[in-house]
Structure 1
């Protein structure tokens, strides 16, 4: 009965995700330039509005990369990175909290093969989250929601997210700023940071293997 309930909940979750992705792609379909123009039209409240939107963004699964590029376009590489890190961290905490409250009853299935992984997540949650945040290929919101359902401690998730998103956020904001200002140097810096971000997880993975 529990497995059947888990399957139904999983199918409902997939349906919601597919629906939100379709909504973002076909209905919202917002470009970074459009977001920049709308946010800056709010004057002094623009940074607060940007952070607020970034915080609630995971609720509709709007692409984090587009918001990060918009931050660079609107506020430049330095302040854009600062505001984006705050908004992204708050959004990740919101996702984590929702998943922990709802997922505890809806998606928790106790299986023997998962107990070892849950123990590792409990003991080394910070390194796992840091590694996943540094790797650009993993969807940002998926990591947040999955961490909320798993055994990762809140503080390990928070600091792993906060530190792990800084390099990629910095690169995205530099890239967004370069689109607006037409500076080739920003594009080169963004590319260099992206390369560095892909190398850091390899080092952390080796360290985790040694410690295990």
Structure 2
């Protein structure tokens, strides 16, 4: 298979999956799925054994389409699955979404990112993007701390010269801290 065909297949697959996720996202917004803990719990409970996979997909979507704050869905995961399984399912979905954000930004560039990220957030972090270690420190802190725009920063990291390996290490090591915070908060609430 030549590189032109491979590029076409990659682009077509990306468009298909982004379209399918957008349709599910629109459905979720219209039905209150992403804003109502009860709606989310009802959908997951009706899914039976597929409930965890559906929740992981929802976590993935809320990262790739940063419309709903991730803390809400993390807390919902704790209520539905308990602190350990809620944490694990959230971690899997959020990590997959974060890798996807990095890949999409790296693949489609600044024009694509500007369509997803608000101008205020984009401008706020643009000056730090290629300032070497300064962005790395901001990025690592955002991944560790709860309530930071870490999903957007994963996309912005894709625009930098940060190697994928460094991105992966920061993400895989730092993400559990904020997820543990949400899991414990949900457990004790």
Same fold at TM > 0.5: yes
Equivalences for 1:43-54 in 2 at 5 Å? 43-54=48-59
Name the residue aligned to 1:150: 160
**After the TM superposition, which segments of 4 or more aligned residues of structure 1 sit over 3 Å from their partners?**
26-29, 104-107, 114-117
Name the residue aligned to 1:93: 99
Name the residue aligned to 1:161: 171
Cα pair 1:130 1:163 within 8 Å, conserved: no
Q: Determine which of 73, 98, 101 is the counterpart of 1:67.
A: 73
The Cα shift of 1:168 comes to: 1.5
The Cα shift of 1:73 comes to: 1.0
Aligned residue pair count: 150
Cα pair 2:105 2:112 within 8 Å, conserved: no
Q: Determine which of 113, 120, 138 is the counterpart of 2:148.
A: 138
Deviations 1:57-113 (A, max 9, x none): 233323211111111011100111011111111010111111111115767xxxxxx
Q: Determine which of 86, 89, 105 is the counterpart of 1:80.
A: 86
Q: Determine which of 22, 36, 43 is the counterpart of 2:41.
A: 36
Compared CA separation, residues 32 and 140, structure 1 to 2 (3 A)? farther
The Cα shift of 1:28 comes to: 5.6
**Mapped pair 1:118 → 2:133:** no
Using the size of structure 1 for normalisation, the TM-score is 0.60
Deviations 1:114-141 (A, max 9, x none): 89962624x984x553222122242122
Distance 1:80 1:115 in 2: 36
Structure 2 residues without counterparts, runs of 5 or longer = 1-25, 114-125
Equivalences for 1:97-108 in 2 at 5 Å? 97-103=103-109
Distance 2:142 2:50 in 1: 32
Distance 2:61 2:89 in 1: 14
Distance 1:49 1:137 in 2: 24
Between structure 1 and structure 2, the one with the greater Rg is: 1
